[in-house]
Structure 1
């Protein structure tokens, strides 16, 4: 750690920047926000005044030159992630970037190539994998405490009305990268992948059933994993009773979590199969209760920064989630199964998640 605290800047002073500010406040003994950047000068000043931040800027280059941050949080719309990450890495700053990481695998690989061999690195916000319950289950899977995984369910059933899509960059391939699979369900899919590991094949459907958007508003997929497990995935913004639900069936137990935008231990349930001793099942409970949050992920990120190590949810660990989203779109648009090995340069979905304008919304039920 440099003398004192890590100097932090936030790029983008919209709603999600508040979650980052709260996370840094929880780590105020290690990090201090010294600058905020937003193209809207008034919004930057209002955010800085509210949170006691000394410097405001309207362009990234000036901030990097003058504030010289050690770490930068990127809280802009997805279309602006690539340029901001590249600028920060070139200036020697580590980066913590909001989801979705970027607009394509091509952009993801470009940013990975801009990292140094020992940093600076860019990590991505996938906070749901960092709660204590998920960490406990991940350890149990690694140690085969519950037996082999067989079946998984990964449902992001949310509701976003027409006013939500009045924001100009939402619901468009060129600015948001995709619909609920990219911008909403990506959190639960990342948690699933962090637990089950590498996926192998996906078969998917999607449609634009109601919202006036260029992207999908619902998708369904079946996924097979390298370890033999299979998963059902649904991503929706048309579900009035909202729920984020994951279920994992092992030899000896079913593990479930039901929440919306974040969980603690009370949202999780371990159900043993018949015949498993009660004392064995009792030992499966997490020993601590840490909620999934930006706060939880930032603590782990700063540990990696202090050690000079690649943080979780970066590099291959973050690419795996972008690969699944990409393949979901490719399968749904082409009507064919997609192997993970197909996601390489030359594949049109590698550079654009709609395959270069191949998706045409249709509302068959209208």
Structure 2
């Protein structure tokens, strides 16, 4: 049986612990770490595991196959680097890093380690998303033409009372980094390489340093055009993706996780066989941490690199950097344009948000 530990026992840690338990005898949660000793002890008592005072102590005391990093974003990369130095695999919550520079630091460290880093982008792993990518790759749906991706959520002022929220230095960005990232990562996993972005970002209502809403128009390498909205200002919350292919429209509307019942397929005239192909496989599984963890364990068992790789993650993080760069400079930003000489490489804030001086 493989052995796992969780660093950071806040709210999201429960999802990880539940996923580990759901995997049965494949893997066991053995220990946790948290800067809040009381919180760590309460979590450990609930799940019947040991507590260690630090990641260093954990790595020294336990033989581990994977460490789940569930801490606030600013600490993700330092903790992942510590695990890689110990040759331990890492499953890190989103956002995995605060910048492209940090992602490249992780990539370099991974090259010298027996451990591997995977990012938690669990919506890639729901059965319907896997089916969609396969049918698209097989040509069943025809050419991709138009898409949209909306993360319309609501976070009131009290949400930002947590000190690290709403700041560039601790969270790395607003809803583009911490909320919409799940939906547009799924979009990118379906549509493949993006080519260029035209974007805007605004601070409409929340007293934060980051944006509270962003929008982008995206052109993909295959010619698909897409819109992306990331909002924390939307009282009717929803997460929606729509893909218009030549032979069908494929849509999903959910909030924090989907099953097959959240998806609809509308065939173009004369293309009813597309719906039949979609319905050949049905699943009641809800997209979530368990789906990704099972794929992670499958990869370890077969000696493959666990999904989502740092190369996959870098593509999504570059998309975010390009969105901010386009929004803050008022220019079109192309894939590959943001390198070490760009102000948006070391920080998503780049040259600074237009509203920075108004605070």
Name the TM-score, length of structure 2 as normaliser.
0.97
Q: Which of 212, 216, 227 in structure 1 is aligned with 2:211?
A: 216
Aligned to 1:113: 108
Aligned to 1:74: 69
CA distance in 1, matches of 2:227, 2:352: 27
Q: Closer, same or farther in 2 for the Cα pair 1:30/1:169, shift >3 Å?
A: same
Aligned to 1:284: 278
Larger mean CA deviation between 183-192 and 60-69 belongs to: 60-69
Q: Which of 35, 43, 48 in structure 2 is aligned with 1:47?
A: 43
State whether residues 140 and 274 of structure 2, in contact with CA within 8 Å, keep that contact through their aligned partners in structure 1: no
Aligned length: 358
CA distance in 2, matches of 1:265, 1:297: 17
CA distance in 2, matches of 1:168, 1:60: 23
What residue ranges of structure 2 are gaps of 5+ in the alignment? none
CA distance in 2, matches of 1:24, 1:134: 22
Matching of residue 59 in structure 1 with residue 54 in structure 2: yes
Please tell me the root mean square deviation across aligned C-alpha atoms, in Å.
Answer: 1.5
What residue ranges of structure 1 are gaps of 5+ in the alignment? none
Within a 5 Å distance, the mapping from 1:264-343 to structure 2 comes to 264-276=259-271, 278-285=272-279, 287-289=281-283, 290-343=285-338
State whether residues 215 and 227 of structure 2, in contact with CA within 8 Å, keep that contact through their aligned partners in structure 1: yes
SS at the partner of 1:341?
coil
Aligned to 2:92: 97
Aligned to 1:125: 120
Q: Which of 97, 116, 132 in structure 2 is aligned with 1:137?
A: 132
CA distance in 2, matches of 1:189, 1:361: 26
Aligned to 2:2: 6
Matching of residue 35 in structure 1 with residue 34 in structure 2: no
SS at the partner of 1:69?
coil
1:274-321 residue CA offsets vs partner (Å, 9 max, x unmatched): 122x34422222513132110000000011112222122112111111
CA distance in 2, matches of 1:286, 1:267: 16
Aligned to 1:21: 17
State whether residues 71 and 95 of structure 1, in contact with CA within 8 Å, keep that contact through their aligned partners in structure 2: yes
SS at the partner of 1:299?
helix
State whether residues 70 and 92 of structure 1, in contact with CA within 8 Å, keep that contact through their aligned partners in structure 2: no
CA distance in 2, matches of 1:141, 1:250: 9
Name the TM-score, length of structure 1 as normaliser.
0.95
1:67-114 residue CA offsets vs partner (Å, 9 max, x unmatched): 232210000000010110000011111000000010001001101111
Aligned to 1:166: 161
SS at the partner of 2:25?
coil
Q: Closer, same or farther in 2 for the Cα pair 1:279/1:358, shift >3 Å?
A: closer
Deviation at 1:357, TM superposition (A): 3.5
State whether residues 119 and 310 of structure 1, in contact with CA within 8 Å, keep that contact through their aligned partners in structure 2: no
Q: Which of 173, 181, 203 in structure 1 is aligned with 2:176?
A: 181
State whether residues 156 and 236 of structure 1, in contact with CA within 8 Å, keep that contact through their aligned partners in structure 2: yes
State whether residues 84 and 113 of structure 2, in contact with CA within 8 Å, keep that contact through their aligned partners in structure 1: no
State whether residues 254 and 271 of structure 1, in contact with CA within 8 Å, keep that contact through their aligned partners in structure 2: yes
Deviation at 1:361, TM superposition (A): 4.4
Deviation at 1:358, TM superposition (A): 4.6
Q: Closer, same or farther in 2 for the Cα pair 1:37/1:280, shift >3 Å?
A: closer
SS at the partner of 1:274?
coil
